[in-house]
Amino acid sequence: MATKKRAAPKKKKAAPKKRPPARRQPETLRLRDVSLSLTATDLQRSIAFYRDVLGFMMGDEWRTKGVLMGVELHAGAVTFMLNQDDFVKGRDRVKGVGTRFYCSTAQDIDRFASQIKERGGVLDQEPKMMEWGSRVFMISDPDGFKLTFVQES
């Protein structure tokens, strides 16, 4: 008995791809990430602060002739780099003036601030609600770099 071949199903035409809207000209900068690099007066003291007090995790280390000159520290998707000051600009230069780093977290700010204090950290400002609706606290690192931790809503 002969069998009748079925016709292959017709392929549907793919919908034309939508093009993204034209970019504004001149094209604006679009960053994907940011990392900080801070100069430390005493690298070991700064490492201890970021690692042991704030809770950053150690990453790469940079050494010159066996001497530790810098480190990467990680907290979630954020990287801070600490480098030993070479003191070319003087041993008494002030650091961190006019700069504040806003660090956003989903963690409970009050609990995080409490843990920092338990580990020996001293807050510049206790956790509080700001007029724009965010809960924050502030702390300075050993060289005076200012950090504000903001709880995401």
pTM, rounded to two decimals: 0.79
Q: Beta strand 100-105 with 146-151: parallel, antiparallel or unpaired?
A: parallel
pLDDT tens column, 47-73: 999 999 999 999 999 999 999 999 999
pLDDT tens column, 98-149: 899 999 999 999 999 999 999 999 999 999 999 989 999 999 999 999 999 9
Residue 62's beta-bridge partner residues?
70
Domains present along the chain, CATH in parentheses: 35-86+96-151 (3.10.180.10)
Q: What is the pLDDT of residue 62?
A: 96
Place of tokens 């700064």: 46
Distance CA 89, CA 17 (A): 56
* Total Cβ atoms within 10 A of residue 46: 24
Cis peptide before 20 (omega within 30 of 0): no
Burial category of 71 from C-beta neighbours within 10 Å (exposed 0-12, middle 13-18, buried 19 and up): buried
pLDDT level of residue 94 (50, 70, 90 thresholds): confident
Nearest alpha-carbon partner for 118 in 25, 56, 24, 55: 55
106, 149 contact by CB (below 8 A): no
By mean pLDDT, which of 33-37, 77-81, 99-103, 113-117 is the weakest? Answer: 33-37
